[in-house]
Amino acid sequence: MSTYFISDIHGCYREFKILLKKSNFNIKTDYLWIAGDLVSRGPNSLQVIRYLYSIQDRINIVLGNHDLNLIAVYSGIKANKKENYFEDFLSAKDSDQLINWLRSQSILKIHETQKIIMVHAGISSKWNLETMKACALEIEKSLLSNDYALFLKSVFNNKINYWSSNLSKIDRLRYSMNVFTRMRYCYPNGKLNLICKKSPSVVKYPLLPWFLISNQFQEKYSIIFGHWSSLKDTPVPSIFFPLDKGCCWGGKLLLLRWEDKKCFYQSYLG
């Protein structure tokens, strides 16, 4: 039995299936962990979600910002855009079932045996383990509620970029959503910058990649994340495993087998 990790499939269904074959992923014995952004940008989001739904007993998923955007578009609170490639999904007969399944997925996954934390974008340096779990659970419960569309409509907000134990519930949700699904850079005091998307090779102090600001998990866990294709080959501390290699932008899809840390790649096919 092996555990595989992948992120930012972004509707690149053909590349995804080829990569599973390359790695000899065994649907009966292996497990696949996916660090978000299953959909959008690539052309086959519906096929990706249908396939993952069909093997749901063998996978663990955390939602990314594009997955949340799909839910928001489907619920009618955000307009669809051409670059989303959501048209076939929105008109599919099983879309209700698939959206409800997506809403039931996690924001945070922890593998306690192997001491792995998986998120889509990042983890706040202001959180301890208990706070991180509580913030993720609060989002997950909101996504499962009957008022999930109203929750999403109110939670997308760039202004809440700092942590305080005195934040109101809605501002706490906004901050947590920004950390888990959108964060790349922070200031030295931990305040988020939600604008810059460039490679760290061209970004100067005081902006710092979030993973360079000390957190309380560094001695205990490995941290797997996606979201940041412009990292490319940027060196990162050894406990961090960035998986997004920009397949939907013409780059590659990366699959990591945890037991031997072997990486499998598949280039974008167009």
Superfamily of domain 3-267: Metallo-dependent phosphatases (3.60.21.10)
CA–CA separation, 75 and 71 (whole Å)? 6
Q: Where are the chain's structural domains?
A: 3-267
Over 80: is that where the pLDDT of 223 sits? yes
Q: For 61-84, how does the pLDDT look when each residue is reduced to its tens digit (9 = 90+)?
A: 999 999 999 999 999 999 999 999
CA–CA separation, 145 and 142 (whole Å)? 5
Burial of 157 from C-beta contacts in 10 A (0-12 / 13-18 / 19+): middle
Share above pLDDT 70 across residues of the chain, in percent, rounded to a whole number: 100
Over 90: is that where the pLDDT of 214 sits? no
- Looking only at the bridges linking them, the beta strands covering 109-111 and 116-118 are antiparallel
Max avg pLDDT among 111-115, 136-140, 230-234: 136-140
pTM over 0.75: yes
Q: For 93-116, how does the pLDDT look when each residue is reduced to its tens digit (9 = 90+)?
A: 999 999 999 999 999 999 999 999
DSSP states of 32-70 as a string? EEE-S--SSSSS-HHHHHHHHHHTGGGEEEB--HHHHHH
pLDDT of residue 217: 72
Over 90: is that where the pLDDT of 216 sits? no
